[in-house]
Structure 1
Amino acid sequence: MPDTDSYFRAARALMVDSQVRPNNIIDDRIVTAMRTLRRERFVPASLASRAYADTELPLGGGRVLPPPLTIGKLAHFAAIRPGERVLVIGAGTGYGAAVIASCGGAVFALEDDAALRAIAEQALSAEAPEVRLVAGPLAGGDTKHAPFDLIVIEGGVEFLPDTLTTQLAPGGRLIAILYERGIGRIVRAEPSGDGFAHRAVADCHASPLTAFRRKPEFVF
């Protein structure tokens, strides 16, 4: 590739203009972040040429980098306010966390896969050094740095762990892609009683995060 920087710069512009903005992702902060962040740094080198494609990219171990539009939708419905403390669960290689940080959030990125954290550490140090990378089980959240104003789960889930309600500040919210009866929808959830009350805001597909799959029920 004779001029790599120009190639990727053009690919970023095409990604935003053909995938993101036509789908009503028009928040200037999100658009600017996605035009600026070098998404090719958030994938293994072998996938760099596909970094801006409108598809999931396999990262190994059953994990993927979500398509640009999925990240854009999550950031859009998160409606980040400057200075909010944000936990991104299942942050993978860190691209979604970097987009949210560019929107003004103080972001903690939780990831349990060491190989993905290694990519994230290198990419974030160059693209979004303000993001704090955290290691630990995904379903447990991040009690050390709680409470958060916003929790974003970056991947498909079959349930919203009740334990995460205690990691939200008063008035806090959770954004996730929840699968019910096989249909994925972005939901906005808020603590209610001992769990979450949620409402769907948009249809969205995402590969499932194993930590948020329901255990099969034993039936006689």
Structure 2
Amino acid sequence: MFAAVFEDNYRTKGLRRNLVKQIENKGIRDARVLDAINNVPRHYFFDQALLEHAYQDKAFPIGEGQTISQPYTVAFQSELLEVEPGNKILEIGTGSGYQACILLEMGAKVITIEYQKKLYEQTRKVLPKMGYHATFLQGDGSQGVPRHAPFDRIIVTAGAPVVPKPLIEQLKVGGILVIPVGDNERQKMVKVKKIEENKIAKKEYDLFSFVPLKGKHGWGN
């Protein structure tokens, strides 16, 4: 999945600038999100033979039934998160690690948990070689990570049947949770803001298509 050699040259930087323009044309306005997309070499997540796919605005299989998310989807979720430098963010569904890199570029402190052990082992070794340092965990992210809570932000990168209650409980007051909720085919993006300890505000956005969230509060094993 990952490139054998990490090299970012004039061509790949140009392809990335074009990708940023595409995303901006689709409505992403947060300059810090766009800058992060421009800074993260997405082709590092692809075999060199697949370079042409790296800067197309589409998802791509990465093995274990998972995908590297479409760049627009990554940008959309990142924009909804309203990331501030220094935020402690829980990412549920590490996958390739691309979304984590975007959050790190935005100045966040990232704790990321992956259900699939093989992906976890791969990503936790490769991202530091790329210069990105997060806290990598393996397990059931649908239950959150109580020992690291509370979080300023929580992002879920897999489709859930409902908003898991533990995630709201582990969110700081004033914190934001972004999660796709729906069935196994299509999900509405949901933004939850914790107003008070027992009060939330919820807003729904466009339809997306994510791989299923695994675990106790997801679609099982």
User: Normalising by the residue count of structure 1, what TM-score does the alignment of the two structures yield?
Assistant: 0.84
Structure 1 gap segments, 5+ residues each: 216-220
Partner secondary structure for residue 93 of structure 1: coil
Where does residue 199 of structure 1 map in the other structure? 203
What secondary structure does 1:87 align onto? strand
- Aligned amino acid, residue 45 of structure 2: F
Within the candidate set 96, 113, 119, 1:116 is matched to 119
| Unaligned stretches of 5+ residues in structure 2 | 1-6
CA contact (8 A) 1:70 1:204 kept: no
Correspondence 1:164-183 to 2 at 5 A: 164-179=167-182, 183=186
8 A Cα contact 1:160 1:196, kept in partner: no
Say whether 1:97 aligns with 2:100. Answer: yes
**Please, which of 125, 135, 138 is the counterpart of residue 135 of structure 1?**
138
* Aligned counterpart, 1:39: 42
- In 1, Cα distance between the equivalents of 2:200 and 2:157? 18
The code of the aligned residue for 1:143 comes to P
Query: Does the CA contact (< 8 Å) of 1:91 and 1:111 recur in 2?
Result: yes
Listed one character per residue, the Cα deviations across residues 10-32 of structure 1 (whole Å, up to 9, x for unaligned) are: 221111112x1112212221111
Residues 1:11 and 2:15 aligned together: yes
Q: Would you say 1:106 and 2:120 are equivalent positions?
A: no
Is 2:88 aligned against 1:85? Answer: yes
What do residues 104-128 of structure 1 show as CA deviations (whole Å, max 9, x unaligned)? 2111111122222234224421445
Distance, in Å, in 1 between the alignment partners of 2:179 and 2:131 is 22
> Aligned partners of 1:155 and 1:63: how far apart in 2?
9
Q: Find out whether 1:125 has 2:128 as its counterpart.
A: yes
**How many Å separate the matches in 1 of 2:52 and 2:80?**
29
Q: Distance in 2 between matches of 1:214 and 1:193?
A: 27
Instruction: Write the mapping of 1:150-169 to structure 2, written as runs, cut at 5 A.
Output: 150-169=153-172
Alignment root-mean-square deviation, CA = 2.6
Is 1:69 matched with 2:85?
Answer: no
The Cα shift of 1:42 comes to 2.5
Q: Percent identity?
A: 24
